[in-house]
Amino acid sequence: MAPIKKIRSERGDAILRKADYFAGIPLAFVGAIYRKLASFTPPDDIREIGLFCPGAIGDLVLLSALIDGLLKKLPGARAELIVTKSNADCAELIPGVSARAFDIRRPARIIAHMASKKYDLLFDACQWARIGAIVSAFSGARRTIGFVTKGQARGWGYDYPVIHRDDRHEIENFLALGRALWPELNGQPRLSIKAAGDGEKIIVCHAFPAPGRGRPLKLWPGDNWAEFVRMALEAGYDAALTGSGEDAETAEKFILKYFPREKRVYSVAGKWSFAELARNLTRSSGLVSVNTGIMHLGAALGIPVIGLHGPTNPLRWGPVGPKTAALLPDRGRNAYLNLGFEYPRGAKNNMGGIRPGVVFATLLRLIAAN
């Protein structure tokens, strides 16, 4: 398996976002009109289900709760995930579904594939991107379900429009898509990982947010990471730094600066595939991560997870699992992100206000409860 070269969400791409806004809104409107005129027949028996979730690893992990609920509700149905290159590796870890990956820049190919599948139900998991509304409208699916998100001009054409709320966790928003048809539907994020052997006293440290405008505001300072790692070493834990190939050089520089002769601190950035990362997380004592898809991955695997939040709102995007905690800085303006791009003018990185001692003490409590 190839190592992770990038951990990237297409929604962080400024060009794609502009195209989605300027071209996507009118196309979504046209698609809504087409959808209304086409008058697709409701399915009597649901056999084929499609789920569209482009770009983000974290969204896909959280969407697995809806998949879990659907498969329990419709055990005889076939479910297919339509993803993109950025989260295709994660799709392979979700049990009970097949997956197809496409280039997000070629929506016509996505639509053509959907039309060939003739889904009875198509769930669009895009929260704000208009690409989801467009492909849903032209998919040929007999019934479509998707979000109506305030200010995003994308919810006109769904057969079952669902209000995307900013006062609950995104898992609950995803489950609401299924509850539009089955109000009692419930599920949990679920991944299928082969056992990697006995556990080890290793704390995995994921310091690198996905590239994009907000990346500098989500970084925990190097001095804070170093202080935390020293506490871990003194308590008998090793520290493994994870990341993509793009993060490898930064991880090595951190080690050379703070731990030049310490063999128990090492980088695996760019060395593990996504599946290897998941398996090795299951062997670790815990994960400390800035707000990324890797944080949600660890939470879904059931290991102790500390989520380091600054701009991101834990209510909306915190780690969810039996052994998780979300921490915010003790100063400045924080927790203002809902959809992921609502950065106020003059926003500052306040992440230094998350104290290493608090992080380590909280992690020890989660490990002790393991």
| Residues 318 and 326: beta-carbon distance below 8 Å | yes
Share of the chain above pLDDT 70, in %: 95
Phi, psi (rounded to 5 degrees) for 33? -60, -45
The β-bridge relationship of strands 238-242 and 202-206 is parallel
CB 326 within 8 A of CB 307: yes
What is the C-alpha to C-alpha distance for residues 161 and 222, in angstroms, rounded to an integer? 44
DSSP-based three-state secondary structure for 59: helix
Report pLDDT for 115: 96
pTM of the model as a whole? 0.93
**Rounded mean pLDDT, 218-242:** 98
Euclidean distance between CA atoms 241 and 257, whole angstroms? 14
* Residue 15 pLDDT class (50, 70, 90 cuts): confident
pLDDT tens for each residue of 142-154: 999 999 999 999 9
Instruction: Write the DSSP symbol of residue 217.
Output: G
Report the alpha-carbon distance of residue 270 to residue 272 in Å, rounded: 6
More confident call, 9 vs 188: 188
Give the burial string for 82-91 (b: 16+ CB within 10 Å, else e). Answer: bbbbbbbbbb
**What phi and psi, each to the nearest 5 degrees, are found at residue 45?**
-135, 120
Task: Determine whether 12 is exposed, middle or buried from the number of CB atoms within 10 Å of its CB (0-12, 13-18, 19+).
Answer: buried
Tell me what pLDDT residue 1 has: 53
Q: What is the pLDDT of residues 27-64, one digit of tens each?
A: 887 888 878 777 777 777 899 999 999 988 999 999 99
Residue 308 has pLDDT above 90, yes or no: yes
What is the model's pLDDT at position 19? 76
Per DSSP, the three-state class of 139 is coil
Residue 197: band (very low, low, confident or very high) from pLDDT cuts 50, 70, 90: low
Interatomic CA distance for residues 296 and 290, integer angstroms = 10
| Residue type present at position 32 | A
For 69-113, the pLDDT digits (tens) are 999 999 999 999 999 988 999 999 999 999 999 999 999 999 999
Q: Rounded mean pLDDT of 176-197?
A: 90
Mean pLDDT of 221-249: 97
d(CA 295, CA 242): 11
| Confidence band of 127 (pLDDT split at 50, 70, 90) | very high
Domains of the chain (ranges; CATH) run 10-179 (3.40.50.2000), 202-368 (3.40.50.2000)
User: pLDDT tens, 325-334?
Assistant: 999 999 999 9
* H-helix segments, the chain: 14-22, 24-38, 57-73, 88-91, 107-117, 130-137, 170-179, 222-234, 248-258, 274-283, 293-301, 314-317, 356-368
Mean pLDDT over each residue of the chain, to the nearest integer:
92
pLDDT classification of 4: cutoffs 50, 70, 90 = low
The token pair at 68 is 């879990």
More confident residue, 212 or 155: 155
Q: What is the pLDDT of residues 248-284, one digit of tens each?
A: 999 999 999 999 999 999 999 999 999 999 999 999 9
